[in-house]
Structure 1
Amino acid sequence: MPPPSTPNNKEMKMKLLHKLIAVLLLLVATQVQADVVAGRDYKVMSPAQPTSSGSKVEVLEFFFYGCSHCYYLHGPLSAWEKKMPKDVNLQFVPVIFRDTWEPMARTFYALEALGEREKLHNDLFEAWNVFNTDLSDEQKITAFVAKRGVDAQKFGAAYNSFSLAGKVARSNQLVRSYAIRGTPTIAVDGKYIITGLEPADTVRVLNEVIEIARKERRAGKR
């Protein structure tokens, strides 16, 4: 039996070329899929809303601690926050779609005022979405945060302060201005709305939309 034939150089080059073409086509397809599209990946508000971030690109996350989708986004968004570009300002906006949600909005702002927000942010998400902890009123919330090292008296003072009431009112105003209908929703620079995506896609689109907003600022369109 004759030995099996081996491909000549021309055949090998053609096979290699075909493989390279396939790889290039895959890369192109991936890039096309990765490009963000208005109306599909994000919405454009008209008119745009005013921002409070000065020279930085403003990012608002509208959320509720008891929202499971907010909980799933929390991890990826927290990781993103740690590496956030210096020209970006991230603000969290606790929404109050019903009266029973107000205690958690007050909790967020009280902890923020005490410099404890970052420390307990994850604990509050897990309390609602993992452990089903009852945090329905100030007394239960105070006991919860006190067990985690927050001074109960200072927390109570912040929770019931006049300045905090103003922040709650601003949160409600932002929800109305942006016509927020669900959480989590992210608003970029008063103009671009990201909602309804998987967590990884949300962060990917967020980065792309920030770049769009950044270019608009450089062009003097903001």
Structure 2
Amino acid sequence: MPFREVGFRLADSRKVLCFFAFTCPVCAAYHASVAQWGETLPPGWKLEFVPVTLPQRDTVIAARAYFAALKADPAKIYDFVGSAYTQIQQEGMKQDDPRTWATAARMARIRQFEESWEKISTSAVKKSYEDLIAYQVSATPSLAIGGRYVITPDDTNGDRDLFFRLAAAMVSKSM
């Protein structure tokens, strides 16, 4: 099967969770396409990006930065993510360096990033870790669809068009 089925999570039954890592070049290549595809979801469905969070300092800091940017200015989150990919993957900045996130926020023109950073609770970061475990995510990007199915570009041998057709089919199957 070109997907995995995991234990059903009712809270996510009308969501698509996209697990991504700032260090993943495939995530960077797919991020805008996933966001654009998410705009085509049926009414009542929504796409949420979830940073991969492991019990490692760098991924916890990256997740906290993502949630801080989202809280500070949701309209600029895609600019922030794009800038973060650039800072980490092209400029060689580290996920556990506060300058990485300050630069990404500045380039995305997000104001009050630092204030939002202070307001991010550990529960937000912990939830992203719990979601990662619940959906048994082992590759990025991964889409968890309808609280039940998980797919990755690996499931379509990297064929982007087929990946998005599969994602749409899995949303339909979830309905």
Q: 1:146 to 1:76 in 2, by over 3 A?
A: closer
The yes-or-no answer on 1:122 pairing with 2:87 is no
Partner of 1:51: 11
Question: Aligned partners of 2:58, 2:72: CA distance in 1, in Å?
Answer: 23
The yes-or-no answer on 1:209 pairing with 2:170 is yes
Question: Aligned partners of 2:26, 2:78: CA distance in 1, in Å?
Answer: 19
- Aligned-residue identity in percent: 18
Match of 2:62 among 79, 87, 104: 104
Partner of 1:138: 98
CA RMSD in angstroms comes to 2.1
Q: 1:50 to 1:59 in 2, by over 3 A?
A: same
Does structure 2 retain, via aligned residues, the 8 Å contact 1:76–1:200? no
Post-superposition Cα deviations, 1:97-153, rounded to whole Å, max 9, x if no partner, equal 3321222111110111112313322222233334434453223421332243222xx
TM-score scaled to structure 1, two decimals? 0.67
Does structure 1 retain, via aligned residues, the 8 Å contact 2:88–2:100? no
Alignment of 1:1-222 (within 5 A): 39=1, 41-45=2-6, 47-52=7-12, 57-97=14-54, 98-115=56-73, 116-151=76-111, 154-161=112-119, 163-195=120-152, 196-197=154-155, 198=158, 199-214=160-175
TM-score scaled to structure 2, two decimals? 0.83
Q: 1:134 to 1:110 in 2, by over 3 A?
A: same
Q: 1:140 to 1:42 in 2, by over 3 A?
A: closer
Does structure 1 retain, via aligned residues, the 8 Å contact 2:16–2:48? yes
The structure with more radius of gyration: 1
Aligned positions, number: 168
Does structure 1 retain, via aligned residues, the 8 Å contact 2:52–2:59? yes
Amino acid of the residue matched to residue 78 of structure 2?
Answer: E
Post-superposition Cα deviations, 1:1-44, rounded to whole Å, max 9, x if no partner, equal xxxxxxxxxxxxxxxxxxxxxxxxxxxxxxxxxxxxxx2x1111
Partner of 1:15: none
What secondary structure is seen at the aligned counterpart in 1 of 2:16?
Answer: strand
Question: Aligned partners of 2:117, 2:132: CA distance in 1, in Å?
Answer: 21
Question: Aligned partners of 1:164, 1:49: CA distance in 2, in Å?
Answer: 23
Question: Aligned partners of 2:89, 2:162: CA distance in 1, in Å?
Answer: 21
- Structure having greater relative contact order (Cα 8 Å, sep ≥ 6): 2
What secondary structure is seen at the aligned counterpart in 2 of 1:180?
Answer: coil
